[in-house]
Chains A and B, each alone.
Chain A
Amino acid sequence: MSEPRRPSSKRTLKPTRELTKAPTGILGLDEVTGGGLPRGRPTLVTGGPGCGKTLLALEFLVHGASKYGEPGVFVTFEERAEDLLDNARSIGLDLDDLIRRKRLAIEYVRVERSEIEETGEYDLEALFIRLDHALNAVKATRIILDTIESLFAGLGDAGILRAELRRLFAWLKDRGVTAVITGERGVNTLTRQGLEEYVSDCVIVLDHRVTDQISTRRLRVVKYRGSQHGTNEYPFLIDTDGIVVLPITSLQLEHKATTARISTGLDWLDAMFGNKGYFRGSSVLLSGGAGSGKTSFAAHFIDAACRRKERVLCFVFEESASQYTRNMGSIGLDLETWVGKGLLTIDAARPTLYGLESHLAKMHRLIDAAHPTAVVVDPLSSFGGSASEVAGTLIRMIDYLKSRQITGLFTHLMPGRLSAADNEVGVSSLMDTWLQLSSPSSGNAPGRQLTILKSRGMPHSTLTRTFMMTDRGVRSDSSPRQSGRLVANR
């Protein structure tokens, strides 16, 4: 935690009561926070303009009202209720129904500086009365204040406001409502008006960065009093279904490894892995230069899985789904059939559409929906970003797949010959199995070669095999002489 902490926290004197949490229902955020936001306490969500604060708050409230039996009040200081409803609809949240059923209420508080004159003492009791009235109307246990700092623009006396806000947060705590208070990031402070001073139970910072014209959103739990929480910056995505935060699982190496095997899709290649193929739930890297046949190997793997009636999710980044299946038709693989049977889902997107993390977040969502036993990413190398960034997000992806025993096959464009200095090694170290494909620039068919560079935890052939592309798939003509020479590699 990097946030300043007041040295003497009174609360530490007596052992804290069991801290219960109010689930947000936001994919990933509940994992990062260990179950949700502190129940009955205020949480501050802060970030720059357009970073997703309002959306996060809105989702927290809507999920509370619809999934967890916790009605809520959205107090909006900036947007009119109608605008808020429109925004909610854009991410598929239907507030109207919840409002009709009295599970949710919107209170629009507008303070217009230009029509207000101030003279003498006042307090914000009227605001308290309004909040109280709204809370009672729906028996709310959750409340959003978005963005309460607007009051500072509307009312002149900052001294009174500060005192009243302090009183407000204490009052909300007394009432035991779980509050989300949004704030706009200040120059050197988390919020413009230093709300973090009053709301110190849980602070979440959102961030929206654009690097190389690709935007990435990130979330960080800066502080969570009395609870463990993930301290990293986690990428998150806003799509038509709302917010998803990565990771979805904890980042620990505790997934169970199986000894079950899954076919590579090619008999001769299976033979190189002791006639069994890859480990189920492992990660496989297929690297090679342009046109070396990476995609074809991946397609064989997909085809074999679908033949076993297993579901496969395939992410392609360089061609459209139809182009992909057509091209694979040229080597005799009819992937279209599997698509038609619902066993294969191909998701095609330009890598530059959004950042790598956002792609991964989207993959998570699709994986959750499709429950595949195998996932193919073709190719990994089309993603920009620094090697550490790619590796960091890839770790999350692989962990996620492993935790669900999903076999992940990644192709990777590696120009030229293998060199140890290649920064791609950072990626390959995450992989359990690494196949290197090469095609000498001069020759035709006989020049294509495949080498197993590594395969953790299983004996495998170290020979380089030549293969060729035919209209009946990838074939290896070299008779299986010597291919029985297996080495154990651990």
Chain B
Amino acid sequence: MSRKTTRLRPAKRAKPRRTRQKEAWNLRLYIAGATPRATSALENLKAICEQHLTGQYRIEVIDLLKHPQLAKGDQIVAVPTLVRHLPPPVKKIIGDLSDAERVLVGLDLRRRDRTEPSHE
């Protein structure tokens, strides 16, 4: 896996949008090699995005084994880490993203009512 997508350019916003608020979702997934955990994190992420953000998201996968210098910028310590760059503010979700509910909360797509951060 490597950096797959091109940079998000303003020009691309010309794409048809339903409402003004529907900003593009810029998501970065940091991994360290194509481990099973990285693979499942990407699959889980894709599934969630397809279901909730159809047509509005962009996933950039960064393999730190190939680009170690990129870990610093986003302050990555754990893998996999999902970073939501857009819309602001920056959000980070670490783990294999297996719990869709938690991912949605982390992305601010669902309110954090019963799922207070239960770091056991």
Contact = CB atoms under 8 A, between A and B. Distances in A.
A353 to B, nearest CB: 42
Contact of B91 (A115, A122, A124, A127): A115
Question: Range of interface residues on chain A?
Answer: 20 to 34
Interface in B79-120: 79-81, 89-99, 102-103, 105-106, 117, 119-120
A151 B96 contact: no
B32 A156 contact: no
Nearest to B101: A119
Contacts of A122: 37, 78-81, 94-96
A120 B119 contact: no
B69 interface: yes
A151 B92 CA distance: 15
Given A111-B75, A118-B119, A126 B81 contact: yes
A178 B89 CA distance: 39
A118 B77 contact: no
Given A119-B103, A119-B106, A129-B68, A124 B93 contact: no
Question: Range of interface residues on chain B?
Answer: 35 or more
Nearest to A136: B68
Given A117-B102, A118-B119, A119-B102, A127 B77 contact: yes
Interface in A222-277: none
Q: B interface, by DSSP: helix, strand, loop or mixed?
A: loop
B64 interface: yes
A166 interface: no
B37 A121 contact: yes
B75 A110 contact: yes
Interface in A119-167: 119-127, 129-130, 132-133, 151, 155-157
A113 to B, nearest CB: 8
A243 to B, nearest CB: 30
B76 interface: yes
B4 interface: no
Interface in B19-71: 30, 32, 37, 41, 64-65, 68-69, 71
Interface of A: 107, 109-112, 115-127, 129-130, 132-133, 151, 155-157
Given A107-B72, A111-B77, A120-B99, 13 more contacts: A111-B75, A112-B75, A115-B92, A117-B103, A119-B103, A120-B41, A121-B37, A122-B95, A125-B78, A126-B32, A126-B71, A130-B71, A132-B68
